[in-house]
Structure formats: structure tokens, C-alpha cells
Amino acid sequence: MLPKYSCVRWALDLSQWRPTLAELSLATACLQAEEKARLMKFYFRDDFDASLIGRLLMRKFVRDTTGIAYDQIRFERDGRGKPFLVNSVLGPCRIDFNVSHQGNYSVLAGIVERSIADEPPVKIGIDVMKIEYSGGKPLTEFFRLMTRNFSDAEWRFIRSRQSEAEQLKAFMRFWCLKESYVKNVGVGITMNLQKISFKVKTDDVAKGKVVQDTVLEVDGNLLTNWCFEEHLLDEQHSVAIAFENLGKMADEGTFKVLGYEELMEGALPLMEKDNSYCQRVLEKQYKRFQ
């Protein structure tokens, strides 16, 4: 018997991907027209690449988990701009997914539910952050400016770390958790983040280990219908996944890092390849990975 839930966690290292014109022409032909137009608005090439990979991760996830033909998959955006599959309820199954990109990675987390009768849908949010600070000010001053974004309990944990590097890692850990939550509920980080307070039971997140015992309080109330996962893709990239209505964690899987060839296996173009469009993309400048 198949488990009630199954979860996918994928990442692609953008710093290892420098597409040829042929690769870029195929990749952009596998997008919907409005997605392709939206991507061209990015000024920097690495933002373009990261968003492109995010869209392709979504298509691969839907194709692999639902059996919908690649060129029949259709995404739209809700009122908050979050992409969703037009038909996310498929017979006895239901899916949800979310993407994020920052630093060297684009990431996707997706979940498949089975036996969904009369149960609220499981919703998912994900965030990835590069563990770095390049703001110019001392880290203590940066923390002071960010005071209202964390609860007193979170700041106590951050400042209890022994070095600035460990404090920054803890800061990014909480920031990832908060972003995964607000992306799931769709309110953005305009809400009062001090009211969102995470309680960590595992002191540190290590590569190859999954932390699943962190809990959330909002306005002092424990949210029992939420579960969180924390991952370290490498020593510089932290990831958090927020699950609503899951009940218990689907599994203890770690992230699978895909290459471009695996991402595009079985991909089918939705439109004609456009070398003129891709030449304009290739003229965009990178702001990192130099």
C-alpha cells in the first residue's frame, strides 16, 4: 500500500549551470508564454536563471507525480502571485508545491496526498537562504536594525551562539523558518514577524541531517497543525519547509540535488524555440558567481 503522503525535495546548484544557447532555447521553450515574458523583466542573469529553473522544477514535479503530459501542464497565479496547478486535485490524489531561490540554489518542495476525503489540504512553503552577511555595518548593528523581526526568545537563542558566524547561521535559520511560514499562508513578510516565534529543540542543523522538531507559536499560541523541516544544503545554504495540516511528517528525506540533464529529461517544448529571445538573455550580466 502506498503511504498517505509522499514528499519531494529538489535543489539545483545554479553556480554549476552555464547554459549554452541550445540549452537555453530548449529550457525557455518549455515555459508558458506569460512565464517567459515575466522572466525577461529580470535585470540580472542570475535572477533570470534562478526563476527559470524554479519554473522547470515545478513542471518536472507535476509531470513526475501526476502523470499529466509535460506539455499539458498549466500553471496560473493566485491573488498573491503564488503559482498553482490549474487542476491540483487529481482523482483520489491532491498535490501542493512551492519554490524558492537565493544564493547558489533554486529549490522545490512538493507533496502528494492520497485518500483525501473530507480532510483539509496539506499546504507547503519553502525558503532557502545563503548564510552570509555583506551589509557593511558590524553584525551587531545589523541585528539591532532587525530587532523587530524576531521574538525575544529567538534573539536569546541567536545571541547565545558563541561566535558571530554561529549567530549569523542561527539568524538565517530563523529567517528561513519565518519565510517558509509566511510563503505558505501567503501574507508575505509585511506581517508582524515578532508575533511569529519559533522554538528550536535541536541546537544546530547539519548537512545530511533533517531537523523536524521545531515548533511555532503565533501570538503566544502553539500551532499544532503545522510541521517544519530544516536542512543544510551545504555549509552556506539553509532551507526550511513549512507544512500545514500534515498531521505528522511525511518522511525524513533529504534534498536531492539535480543536474540540468536530469531536470530536462522528458521535457517537451510548449512553443517554438526563440534564439533571438535567448541571445538577449545571454547579454544580461551576472551579479555573482564570477
pLDDT digits (tens, 9 = 90+) for 141-162: 999 999 999 999 999 999 999 9
Mean pLDDT of 183-199: 81
Distance of CA 65 to the CA centre of its chain: 18
| Cβ atoms of 248 and 131 closer than 8 Å | no
- Which tens digits make up the pLDDT trace of 97-133? 999 999 999 999 999 888 666 788 899 999 999 999 9
Mean pLDDT of 1-15: 85
Which domains does the chain show, CATH number per domain?
1-122+247-290 (3.90.470.20), 124-244 (3.90.470.20)
What is the pTM for the complete model shown?
Answer: 0.93
**Which of 52-61, 64-73, 242-251 comes out lowest in average pLDDT?**
242-251
Indicate whether 190 pLDDT > 70.
no
Alpha carbons 280 and 270: distance in angstroms, whole number: 20
Alpha carbons 258 and 107: distance in angstroms, whole number: 10
* Predicted local confidence at residue 90, as pLDDT: 74
